[in-house]
Amino acid sequence: MLNAILKFQFIRFAVVGAFGFFVDGLGLVLLIAMDWSLFPARAVSFACAVSITWYVNRMWTFNKMGVAKARVVKQYGYYLTVQLIGAGINFGTFFLVIYWFPYTGSQPLIALAVGAVVAMGFNYVLAKKVVYTK
């Protein structure tokens, strides 16, 4: 049953995203524990998560092995750009949900979830149409 579910490209993309979230969070916690300040630690943990998810999405989700080296570098640049825009969409959606539905301010996980879903949809479409094209 799990193999049947994982045949869907979007599901694989979501699984990789969840793994990236774990890497991002773990990196952030470890760097802060090593006395890094919050924002540099966040930048490094985000960069690690983006790099890992780019590679796993490239190999597993979109099956793009054997791409020329110059194309791989360009692909990574596109992926990073999409992820940065997606992060902006995530934060923007988070704040709009709290603004439009003030009760979510006391339950911020609702706004966080909405932001994550909206950004994931954007990231998936651009990954499929721009980053991992032929």
Q: Which of 120, 111, 133, 115 is nearest to 82 (CA)?
A: 120
Please tell me the total number of residues recorded for the chain in this structure.
134
SS3 100: helix
Instruction: Please report, in tens digits, the pLDDT of each residue of the chain (134 residues total).
Output: 666 666 789 999 999 999 999 898 899 899 999 999 888 988 899 999 999 999 999 989 988 766 677 788 889 999 999 999 999 999 999 899 989 998 877 877 788 888 889 999 999 999 999 998 86
Q: Please state, as a whole number, how many other Cβ atoms lie within 10 Å of the Cβ of residue 9.
A: 17
The pTM is what? 0.80
Q: What is the pLDDT of residue 81?
A: 95
CB neighbours of 119 closer than 8 A, spacing ≥ 6? 86, 87, 89, 90, 93
Q: d(Cα 54, Cα 58) in Å, to the nearest integer?
A: 6
